[in-house]
Amino acid sequence: MSENMKTPILSVVDLKTTFLTNDGPVEAVHNVSFDIFESEVLGFVGESGAGKSQVFMSIMGILASNGRASGSALFKGEEILNLPLEKLNKIRGHHLSMIFQDPMTSLNPYLTISKQMSEVLVYHKGLSWSDAEKKSLEMLDCVKIPEAKMRLKSYPHELSGGMRQRVMIAMSLLCEPDILIADEPTTALDVTVQAQILDLMLELKKDFKTAIIMITHDLGVVAQICDRVHVMYGGRIVEKGDVNDIFYNPFHPYTQGLLNSTPRMDQNVQESLVAIPGNPPSLGQLSKGCSFQDRCDFCMPKCLEERPDLKITTSGGLAACHLI
């Protein structure tokens, strides 16, 4: 692929995020490295507690107060990890935007849609309030909100869940960011609305050349919109690859297990699902060796002793497994 020739917009190297808790430090993200390029959709997949959200919370500087991030995140060549607040505020919201799972709690219930949208442009781009409102209206049309003019005067509680998520997306695109980080944007929505939102995101990617990072646990969503996929487990990336490789030639036993346990609509047999036995590990008590060891069918003595690093697989992707 020609991707290797291009320079990435965001390049993350050895990101480590630790939370100081009463039970000692908990490492939620361990040595995560990845690049993202213009107008691609990069998926981050994993179960709850895998650390996929914390990666981007660290980059955006919105970790909980007991969280510490180290490593490096270069945005267009400039270090943005742990920047002082006033510098970070010039970048996030403007060049990097994030949307969250619950559109109700991420909108301010006291402000009209118009106010909270225009605010972004007034602060980041220095537009006047009336110009900002005009631009907001255009953006609401862009995300296909019916009767956008009327909606500008509404408060968040007057909108449905799908509508609120559209407002969130519109708001995050106002400054035409280089990267849109979407943290489970459709998980709280109905499938019909999810289909509308995913469609919209793909369209926007085409129109604005925005790179999209899609954090999700839903492999269906990944298959539909992602170009490349990173699978996370126990705070680490365990497999990286092109979306087709991940789905058709998954290497890591966890990726395989995840695919097998996903119920599918296009298979006509009704039989029991292939579940992964056991539970995801607690990040506070990770054992020595591979974090997937106690749930893995292929566990060998080496897996108990040594933690595997990412290595090149036969299909050209990367996987962290001793089977390679």
Partner 1 sequence: MSSHLNPLLHVENLSVDFEVGRKSLFSKPKLLHAITDVSFNLMPGETLGIVGESGCGKSTLGRAILNLVKISGGKVVLDGVDLGALSETELRKSRKDMQMIFQDPLASLNPRLNIKQIISEPLEIFFKELSKADIEKRVLEMMDVVGLSRSYINRYPHEFSGGQCQRIGIARAMIVRPKLLICDEAVSALDVSIQAQIVNLLMDLQKEFKTSIIFISHNLSVVRHISHRILVLYLGRMAELAEFSELYNHAHHPYTRALISAVPTPDPKISKEKKSTILMGDIPSPINPPSGCPFRTRCPKAQDLCAQVRPEFKDHGSNHFVACHFPD
Residue in 3, 190, 203, 207 binding partner 1, rule: CB under 8 A? 190
Write out the binding residues for partner 1, residues 258-297 only, by CB under 8 A.
Answer: 258-259, 261-266, 268, 270, 272-277, 279-280
Bridge partners (DSSP) of residue 96 are 92, 179
> Quick one: 113 or 222, whose CB is closer to partner 1?
222
Write out the binding residues for partner 1, residues 42-81 only, by CB under 8 A.
Answer: 47-48
For residues 10 and 180, the answer to whether their CB atoms sit within 8 Å is no
> CA-to-CA distance for 152 and 102, rounded, in angstroms?
20
Q: Does 123 participate in binding partner 1 (rule CB under 8 A)?
A: no
Q: Does 150 participate in binding partner 1 (rule CB under 8 A)?
A: no
Shortest distance (Å) from residue 302 CB to partner 1: 24
> CA-to-CA distance for 65 and 47, rounded, in angstroms?
23
Q: For 136, which DSSP code?
A: H
> CA-to-CA distance for 236 and 285, rounded, in angstroms?
14
> Quick one: 171 or 226, whose CB is closer to partner 1?
226
- Strand stretches in the chain, DSSP E: 10-21, 24-36, 41-45, 67-75, 78-79, 96-99, 179-183, 211-216, 228-233, 236-242, 310-312, 318-320
> Quick one: 50 or 91, whose CB is closer to partner 1?
50
Work out the end-to-end distance of the chain between its first and last CA atoms, rounded to an integer number of angstroms.
23
Which pair of structure tokens corresponds to residue 153? 């005067």
State phi, psi for 99 to the nearest 5 degrees: -120, 150
Shortest distance (Å) from residue 43 CB to partner 1: 10
Interacting span for partner 1 (CB under 8 A) from 64-72, 114-122, 189-197, 316-324: 189-197
Shortest distance (Å) from residue 121 CB to partner 1: 28
State phi, psi for 226 to the nearest 5 degrees: -85, 150
Residue in 82, 123, 217, 286 binding partner 1, rule: CB under 8 A? 217
Q: Does 27 participate in binding partner 1 (rule CB under 8 A)?
A: no
What number of helices (H) and strands (E) belong to the chain?
Answer: 11, 12
Interacting span for partner 1 (CB under 8 A) from 15-23, 130-138, 206-214, 241-249: 241-249
Full strand arrangement of the beta sheet holding 78-79: 24-36, 10-21, 67-75, 78-79
Shortest distance (Å) from residue 122 CB to partner 1: 30
Q: Does 163 participate in binding partner 1 (rule CB under 8 A)?
A: yes
Shortest distance (Å) from residue 67 CB to partner 1: 22
Distances (CA, A) of 91 to 86, 127, 141, 296: 9, 17, 25, 42
> CA-to-CA distance for 149 and 309, rounded, in angstroms?
53
Shortest distance (Å) from residue 206 CB to partner 1: 14
- Site mask for partner 1 (CB under 8 A), range 128-147, x = bound: ------------------x-
Q: Does 219 participate in binding partner 1 (rule CB under 8 A)?
A: yes
Residue in 3, 199, 305, 306 binding partner 1, rule: CB under 8 A? 199
Interacting span for partner 1 (CB under 8 A) from 4-12, 58-66, 85-93, 217-225: 217-225
Residues that bind partner 1 (CB under 8 A): 47-48, 146, 160-163, 190-196, 198-199, 217-224, 226, 243-244, 247, 257-259, 261-266, 268, 270, 272-277, 279-280
